[in-house]
A = this chain, B = another copy of it.
Amino acid sequence: MEFNSFYPPQRTLMGPGPSDVHPRILAAMARPTVGHLDPTFVAMMDEMKVMLQQAFRTTNPLTIPVSAPGSAGMECAFTNLVEPGDTVVVCQNGVFGGRMRENVERCGGTAVMVEDEWGQAVDAAKLEEALSANPEASVVAFVQAETSTGVVSDVKTLTEIAHRYDCLVIVDAVTSLGGSPLEVDEWAVDAVYSGTQKCLSCAPGLSPVTFGERALHRIKNRKSKVQSWFLDLNLVMGYWGGGAKRVYHHTAPVNLLYGLHEALVMLHEEGLENAWARHQRNHLALRAGLEAMQLELLVAENARLPQLNAVVVPDGIDEARVRQLLLADYGIEIGAGLGALAGRVWRVGLMGHSSSKKNVLVFLGAMESVLSTLGGAIESGRAVAAANKVLL
């Protein structure tokens, strides 16, 4: 059998993540590997922690990248903060709330589910109801930016309610970090996990997390050991924690961390608020173009994520065929619907480096062409013109 080097095609990644990785970040990952205890590497880690704090808008000392993808970041939050017998209120309005439930139950906890329809934001009144009916609850968990539906929920309000009932708050910010407002300290969120492959435009494989003082206190005063050795923050802190002396825990993914460092330098150069504004602007341009094609967004205007647009598949259109043609003819990847939304929506991501004027126009032009090919009554050029009006 013959094996050859793999040369991936050049795609334009406009799905639910990964997003396009900027050439500067790709180049950073290709720099020579050094040891995970090398003094230069340790200094780079310290700098990265400061930049991550800025991205999360927090001064939490425990702000680090977990050495594995976002799902491991989620598990890190639950496995450290939930003990057997604990009750956790989980708000579910998409795929990832369901995964949170799995995490709670695998930690030996009981999940009280607060369900909202897929495509709706988490309902604060329902959360309050669940908390007053379950006074033993010690944690509330929800997703800020539901990647499966394109909905943003109100972290500030939900956190206030949870705190009134003496609960810690775990927030999934996988798709929001760097793309839309997240104010960890101002909103007093206790634990947040994210991913690198969305609005930070870095390669997948790391999960930035931040834990506040109350969360840390809970972790340090657990009755039982954290069930994951790899994700036990009591141990991980020995390596990432402050001070010059690093204790070996596991071998850090050195080159991936080079990439994240570069992504954070780029975010710093642009300015976090400018990045949020860019995501919003390109979303509005995309929306104008979609409307010109009579395509609808699934989510109501007040709960729309700029970086993940769930577009309703029109009647009579073969949704998978559209994705295939976009990929084959234009190298554009968009996402399919997940779970309850499978076959009903396309998920168009404008995340990080993928959130650019150029991508908006290229996507709209390609979509016009593909829908025309499939028999849609599309007047060529209208969508691009509508988007351009917003962008100019």
Query: A residues touching B (Cβ–Cβ < 8 Å)?
Result: 1, 3-11, 13, 15, 17-18, 20-21, 24, 26-36, 38, 40-41, 44, 47, 50-51, 67-72, 74-75, 79, 99, 102-103, 105-107, 195, 197, 203-205, 225-230, 248-256, 258-259, 261-262, 264-265, 268, 327, 333, 338
Contacts and interface: CB of A to CB of B under 8 A. Distances in A.
A107 B227 contact: yes
Contact of A251 (B7, B20, B197): B197
Contacts of A47: 3, 6
Contacts of A248: 338
Nearest to A174: B251
Given A70-B251, A226-B106, A35 B6 contact: no
Given A18-B251, A205-B253, A8 B34 contact: yes
A253 B31 CA distance: 18
B40 A9 contact: yes
B68 A67 contact: yes
A41 B1 contact: no
A368 B70 CA distance: 47
Contact of A261 (B6, B24, B203): B6
Contact of A20 (B33, B75, B262): B33
Given A17-B251, A71-B229, A103-B229, A6 B50 contact: no
A30 B36 CA distance: 20
Contacts of A17: 251
A256 B253 contact: yes
**Chain A at the B interface: SS class:** loop
Contact of A13 (B35, B44, B74, B258): B35
Nearest to A324: B39
A42 to B, nearest CB: 12
Given A38-B333, A71-B229, A75-B229, A29 B29 contact: yes
Contacts of A265: 3-5
Contact of A204 (B9, B24, B36, B75): B36
Interchain residue pairs A-B with the least CB separation, the first 7? A205-B253, A30-B30, A68-B68, A71-B250, A203-B255, A204-B251, A21-B33
Contacts of A107: 227
A106 B228 contact: yes
A41 to B, nearest CB: 7
B70 A203 contact: no
Contacts of A75: 228-230
Nearest to A333: B35
A31 B6 CA distance: 9
A359 to B, nearest CB: 14
Nearest to A54: B1
A260 to B, nearest CB: 10
Contacts of A74: 229-230
Contacts of A254: 18, 203-205
B27 A30 contact: yes
Contact of A21 (B21, B32, B106, B230): B32
B33 A203 contact: yes
Given A251-B18, A256-B205, A34 B13 contact: yes
Given A229-B106, A261-B6, A26 B31 contact: yes
A40 B328 CA distance: 12
B26 A8 contact: no
Given A18-B33, A21-B32, A30-B30, A44 B6 contact: yes
Contacts of A230: 68, 71-72, 74-75
Contacts of A30: 26-27, 29-30
Contacts of A5: 24, 28, 261-262, 265
